[in-house]
Amino acid sequence: MPSKRVIDWAVYAAFVIIIMTAPLVMEPFWLNRVAKYLVYGMLGIAVALSWGYAGILNLGQGLFFGAGAYMLAMSLKLASTTSLQQGSDRPVPDFMLWNAEPGSPTELCCINKASFLWLPFQSQWFGVAMGLILPVAIATILGMIVFRKRISGVFVSIITLAVVLLVRLVVIDSQPVTNGFNGLTDLGWFKVGGLEFDPFVVETYYLVAVSLSLVLVGARLLIFTRAGLILQAVRDDQNRARYLGFNVPAYQTFFFAVSAAIAGFAGMLYVVVSEFASPTFMDLTFSITMVVWAAVGGRSSILGACIGAIIINVLSATVSETEGFAEAWKAIIGLIFVLVVLYLPRGIAGLAHDFVDRIVTRRSAPSSHPLRVSDPSSQLAE
Amino acid sequence: MGRTALTLDGLSVDFEGFRAVNQVTMTIDDGELRVLLGANGAGKTTLMDLISGKTKSTSGRVFLHDTDITNWEEHKIARAGVGRKFQIPSIFKELTVRRNLEVASCRNPGVFANLRFGFSAEAERNVDEVLELIGLTEQANQVAAYLSHGQTQWLELGLLITQNPKIILLDEPTAGMTQAETHKTSLIVNNLKGRHTIVVVEHDMAFVREIAERITVLHLGQVIAEGNVEQIETDPKVREAYLGSKGIS
């Protein structure tokens, strides 16, 4: 009899095989799009980890996504040909030149007051490192404050929501360093050794697909550890966990930071695939959309949330481009969401789990069934 | 009698002028089972809150053996060896019964120390034994949310047994139980006698008679009597506190 765990891993393996072989059957036009959806799938994983497993509904996941995106985008901006024009051999982002005050030196160090922040980003790997470090640092500080103070439930959601909006405002307001509303565009390509990741080639798709597979399996393994189990215990009853001797805020902060790292990683991949970073990443609607993906896919399933994100995006792309639905597609997506919340509170993954349960218990029914029946009476007899 | 497991020394807490616990001094020996008795508002649960760190005391000290644990953080007190069962049963309801106990069996509290898979064979054996003791072996793979009220209480007791603290604080372990369930609970608690030092808050006198050795009676935040069951039942001060000075006429 295959145990549930074996079936689980088989489903994961099937998912990985599907995304790995997809380019063989996919039109090149879809390659770049699907790569984006896979990035969204990674965001689904981040949301499931913090919402489903840690019980922290983060309505500001876009903050970590945006932080990761901007960090790599700064490096890629400096690597872009637009930063090397104007006759200089040292890169200066074009928007800084356009907005420079007359007479200011056209050097990255001092073209405006804060431009020196860009200096280390001349190294692409500095940008990559910061794309993980910054989200983790923000999450750790935020988590230490919020969870130490034993803030929980909806209040955490409100705080994260406020923080993402605040950062979005700051980014928009810091036009000289961030290019404000316009975001960072005209980026160079991400390079590893001699390999250039043109967003429209199959290598870029595989960069995303392999990253997603690794994150997927990594997150799954993480929740299989004892720490993952204790985290779920904390989610169910913080107080009980505390009186068993666990340092509850440490667990919450750790997994909040892991979720932030995944979102930051997704942000970087998104920049590679879409060649821009913009303050819209930190829009409220985007963060809430991620939560919807996870809810539809199943927030207490890492893979479910990931698939939820991919399915909804493929669906909305298809529906919105189908004639006749062009106007109504948002209503259709909204309807799907409402139906799922009403009838499938554990999402698509919950449905799949019930199905697997039924198969597994039917096969082992002869041994377990009689025990269950005698259950209540044996207790009373004692 | 062995050495002292728990010492309360002039423990008091003030809630904005209201002294819920007032100058409570008592010692509980190693392996002893002590029952705390008292009318509503006598300060029994508050006393447990003070010992386990949920409420910070305004004066007085708490010693666990020779360690001063007064006003430590809850999880540190728990790690020092104080386990607590709550009045409202609290368990990890989305995990299976076995998983609940596995959580309690983690000896190292740190996040990074627990980034590993599985539990030692010894821990698993221990979990099996506890399942047997609390009578939930058949429910081991059931999600805890589907347990009956009595089973939930036993599971929480099981969590404490697995945690294996020196001192177990039980806040009304038989609240809301049927007679049969109450009896089973007394069997579990009696089984723990000697291995752990146990402090029980309880109203149910039938249950108290089944388990009690020594009883401490609290009234308005103060200790008014201490002794065995007969002594307490005949103590005039206890009668006065429970029934009023004129008694029932």
pLDDT digits (tens, 9 = 90+) for A99-124: 888 888 888 888 888 889 999 999 99
Residue A101 gets which letter from DSSP?
P
| Spatial distance between the Cα atoms of A66 and A278, rounded to a whole number of angstroms | 8
Best CA proximity match to B183, nearest among B224, B154, B158: B154
3-class SS of residue B142: coil
Across the interface, whether the CB atoms of B94 and A236 are under 8 A apart is answered yes
Q: Residue B14: left if φ>0, alpha if ψ -120 to 50, beta else—which one? A: beta
Q: In a mutagenesis test of the B interface, which of A148, A225, A235, A244 is the best target, namely the one with the most B β-carbons within 10 Å? A: A244
Across the interface, whether the CB atoms of B93 and A248 are under 8 A apart is answered no
pLDDT at A35 over 90: yes
pLDDT at B100 over 90: yes
What's the rounded mean pLDDT across residues A215-243? 95
Beta pairing, strands B33-37 & B214-219? parallel
pLDDT at B248 over 50: no
Residue A157: which residues within 8 A CB-CB, separation 6 or more? Answer: A57, A58, A59
From A236, A251, A375, residue closest to B111, measured CB to CB:
A251
| Spatial distance between the Cα atoms of B52 and B56, rounded to a whole number of angstroms | 9
Interchain contact A237–B (C-beta under 8 A): yes
Best CA proximity match to B41, nearest among B26, B55, B20: B20
Across the interface, whether the CB atoms of B92 and A227 are under 8 A apart is answered no
Q: Residue B221: left if φ>0, alpha if ψ -120 to 50, beta else—which one? A: left
| Sequence letter at residue B34 | R
Beta-bridge mates of residue A197: A190
Smallest CA–CA distance from B80 into chain A, residue: A245
Which helix or strand (DSSP H or E) is residue A36 part of? helix A28-47
User: For residue A185, what are its two tokens?
Assistant: 């565009």
From A222, A225, A229, residue closest to B103, measured CB to CB:
A229
Ordered by start, the domain boundaries in chain A are 4-361
What mean pLDDT is reported for chain A?
89
Beta-bridge mates of residue B84: B169
Q: What is the ipTM of this complex?
A: 0.90
In B, which residues are within 8 Å of A221 by CB distance?
A: 117
What's the rounded mean pLDDT across residues B189-213? 86
> Are A311 and A269 in contact, with CB atoms under 8 Å apart?
no
Best CA proximity match to B157, nearest among B138, B145, B178, B171: B171
What's the pLDDT score for residue B244?
Answer: 61
| Spatial distance between the Cα atoms of B46 and B40, rounded to a whole number of angstroms | 11
What count of other Cβ atoms lies within 10 Å of the Cβ of residue B192? 19
Q: How far is CA A29 from CA A205, A341, B187, in A?
A: 12, 33, 71
pLDDT at A2 over 70: no
CATH class of B4-243: alpha beta
Across the interface, whether the CB atoms of B110 and A247 are under 8 A apart is answered yes
Smallest CA–CA distance from A250 into chain B, residue: B111
What's the pLDDT score for residue A369?
Answer: 39
What's the pLDDT score for residue B249?
Answer: 41
| Sequence letter at residue A84 | L
pLDDT at A91 over 90: no
pLDDT at B64 over 80: yes
From B94, B139, B163, residue closest to A244, measured CB to CB:
B163
At A4-29, the pLDDT tens digits run: 888 889 999 999 999 999 999 888 78
What's the rounded mean pLDDT across residues B126-149? 94
Ordered by start, the domain boundaries in chain B are 4-243
pLDDT at A378 over 70: no
Tokens 């377990």 belong to residue: A368
More confident call, A3 vs A277: A277
Best CA proximity match to A306, nearest among A94, A44, A127: A44
Across the interface, whether the CB atoms of B75 and A236 are under 8 A apart is answered no
Question: Which of A83-97, A154-168, A341-355 bottoms out in mean pLDDT, i.e. has the lowest?
Answer: A83-97
From A222, A229, A237, residue closest to B91, measured CB to CB:
A237
Question: B-side interface with A, Cβ within 8 Å?
Answer: 52, 74-76, 78-79, 83-84, 86, 90-95, 99-100, 102-104, 106, 109-112, 114-119, 135, 138-139, 148, 150-151, 156, 159, 163, 180, 184
| Spatial distance between the Cα atoms of A176 and A34, rounded to a whole number of angstroms | 34
Residue B236 burial (CB < 10 Å; 0-12/13-18/19+)?
Answer: exposed
In A, which residues are within 8 Å of B117 by CB distance?
A: 221, 224-226
pLDDT at A373 over 50: no
